[in-house]
Structure 1
Amino acid sequence: MKYPINIALIVLTSLFALTSCTVVREGEVGVKRTLGKYQDKSIGQGMVTFNPLTSAVQKMSTQTENLEVELNLPSKEGLNIRAAISILYSLDGQKAAEVLRQIGLNYERSVILPVFRSAVADVSARYFAKDMHTGQRGVIEEAIREQMMTNLAGRGIIIETVLVKSIQLPVNLARSIEEKLEAEQQSLRMEFVLTQARQQADQQRIEAEGTRDAQLIIAEGLTPEILRFKAIEAFMALSQSANAKVIITGGDMPMMMNGDEVMAAPVRK
């Protein structure tokens, strides 16, 4: 009769041992609650033992969480802009017990969402609708994050970043922005064409000035004496040819006759 009792004791002991320990994994912290009161110190990863009759261990994630929200953003000119926004946040493991005592497990809906809606409405009302569709988007995201961190200071929740994933502008406004951007692109292209034309004109002017300067230099060097000397050299070279030639000169106008052809070369004084 003792064997069944011993087996029962072993089974009860095993069940008690299994229910009196838990494992806190990576990316988690544990907070022990004894008789309804949370301990101040958080428990890191590893095995934790406790008395299941009087205590329990509440595990909470410290990993980055993604909260996606779709809402209408009020703009500075009074328009409502439909937007999808992601909030990346995490829990400060050192303040996990404080979060459980003051907020509870549902801190995402109880605290983060109300703070976000207030911050995003306040920030977006400072900007025009077109700013949310251009390079100002990053500035708006950072402003929302900073305001949320200010409102959540000391609450144990860290807002890592706020990302505006999509913006749906009113149809007329979207068309106006696209037309403006297209006009700016055309203006930039025209400016490029004009700049290129000015560069080509400058290049042609420089080339013309170079040709003119070269001609002036050559003209300055061609004195009457040099021209007369060059003419004599040319006729001397022609006179050495085997063909019959007749050279007639009156001093200023040498002429060369070769058969029926007559060539005249004036010589400047």
Structure 2
Amino acid sequence: MATRQPEINFPKGGVLFIIAAVLLIILFSKSTVTIGPGEGGVIFETLGDGVNTEKTYGEGFHIVAPWNRMIVRKVRQQSITDEMNVLSVNGLEVKVSGTIWYEPEFSNLGLLIKTKGEDYERELLDPAINAAARSIFGRYTPEQLYSSKRDVIEQEILDEVQNVLKDQYLSVKRVLVEDVKLPSTIRIAIETKLKQEQESLEYEFRLSKAKKEAERQKIDAEGKAVANKILSASLTEKILQEKGIDATLELSKSPNSKVIVIGSGKDGLPIILGNQ
């Protein structure tokens, strides 16, 4: 004979409590948002006017009404790298790669998303960068793009992008042109020309240096010649005799043994005979 299992009866109040607790946990999980480091958030009011532009929420834990949604975006400085084909001033196609540093305005994040959408980089930043790059690169020759004008071009692109994005709640901080790729034949021709120009500058420098050294030596020699001429003109026969006598007197005071013959030397100067 089979035995009956005892029945477990939950009180109706307990079942309702469990259901309420589960619903409360689900509701709470949908009503809490954690915004990470370097991020900001704005509320999308489903039953209201959409994106609330009055307040931007910072990092940390936040409670949101379950019928609303927190839109979280990075608000720290960030960068995007892109590659595009542009035309130089003479119509040559050039492939350019670069990096842009930008930063959304924290206090105006709601206005940025409301007016430009959540994908504001694609909707706002990319078109501004592409238009500025094509406009600026179109002012220069391939040689200028490849060598001498990189810094100038970066600043001009930055200025133009900042002008386009003025009052658009998105700030561009820096533009870096990393690489300019030309057709190989054009690149080789430019590199050859630059090498020849460098060699010419080095030759001119060596030539200028040698010319300056020759001029220096000429001036030095002329100075010595003038000095010798002045010295020779000042050394009369009488002065030489007096200096010879003075030197003889000094030598006669020396302790070394010697014989001085007065008036027997050339020009009447004394002769000194000695073993030292």
Interval containing the TM-score (normalised by the shorter chain): 0.7 to 0.9
Alignment of 1:79-158 (within 5 A): 79-158=92-171
Structure 2 residue 63 is matched with structure 1 residue 49: yes
Shift of 1:149: 2.4
Residue type of the partner of 2:193? K
Change (3 A) 1:198 1:95: same
Residue type of the partner of 2:115? Q
Shift of 1:32: 1.0
Residue type of the partner of 1:168? K
CA offset digits 1:123-167 (Å, max 9, x no partner): 111111212122311221222222222222322222222211111
Judge which range, 19-28 or 206-215, deviates more.
206-215
2:37 to 12, 17, 26: 26
Structure 2 residue 214 is matched with structure 1 residue 205: no
Change (3 A) 1:205 1:38: same
Change (3 A) 1:15 1:230: closer
Residue type of the partner of 1:94? S
Measure, in 2, the Cα distance between the counterparts of 1:200 and 1:31.
74
Q: Secondary structure at the match of 1:199?
A: helix
Measure, in 1, the Cα distance between the counterparts of 2:171 and 2:244.
97
Residue type of the partner of 1:24? I
Q: Secondary structure at the match of 1:153?
A: coil
TM-score normalised by length of structure 2? 0.76
Shift of 1:253: 10
Measure, in 2, the Cα distance between the counterparts of 1:146 and 1:74.
20
Shift of 1:230: 7.3
Residue type of the partner of 1:13? L
Q: Which position in structure 1 is the counterpart of 2:208?
A: 195
Structure 2 residue 200 is matched with structure 1 residue 176: no
Residue type of the partner of 2:103? S
Change (3 A) 1:110 1:229: closer
Shift of 1:76: 0.4
2:199 to 154, 168, 186: 186
Residue type of the partner of 1:11? V
Q: Secondary structure at the match of 2:173?
A: strand
Judge which range, 215-224 or 136-145, deviates more.
215-224
Q: Which runs of 5+ in 2 are unaligned?
A: 1-10, 252-256, 272-276
Q: Secondary structure at the match of 1:69?
A: strand
Q: Secondary structure at the match of 1:195?
A: helix
Q: Which position in structure 2 is the counterpart of 1:221?
A: 234
CA offset digits 1:198-239 (Å, max 9, x no partner): 3322332233234323332332233344556778899999xx
Q: Secondary structure at the match of 1:134?
A: helix
Matched positions, count: 251
Q: Secondary structure at the match of 1:72?
A: strand
Measure, in 2, the Cα distance between the counterparts of 1:28 and 1:202.
69
Change (3 A) 1:229 1:72: same
Measure, in 2, the Cα distance between the counterparts of 1:66 and 1:13.
41
Change (3 A) 1:241 1:164: same
Change (3 A) 1:231 1:100: closer
Shift of 1:12: 2.5
CA offset digits 1:4-48 (Å, max 9, x no partner): 432332232233222211122332221112225111222222322
Measure, in 1, the Cα distance between the counterparts of 2:178 and 2:154.
10
Measure, in 2, the Cα distance between the counterparts of 1:252 and 1:102.
112
2:174 to 136, 158, 161: 161
Structure 2 residue 29 is matched with structure 1 residue 14: no
Judge which range, 63-72 or 218-227, deviates more.
218-227
Q: Secondary structure at the match of 1:16?
A: helix
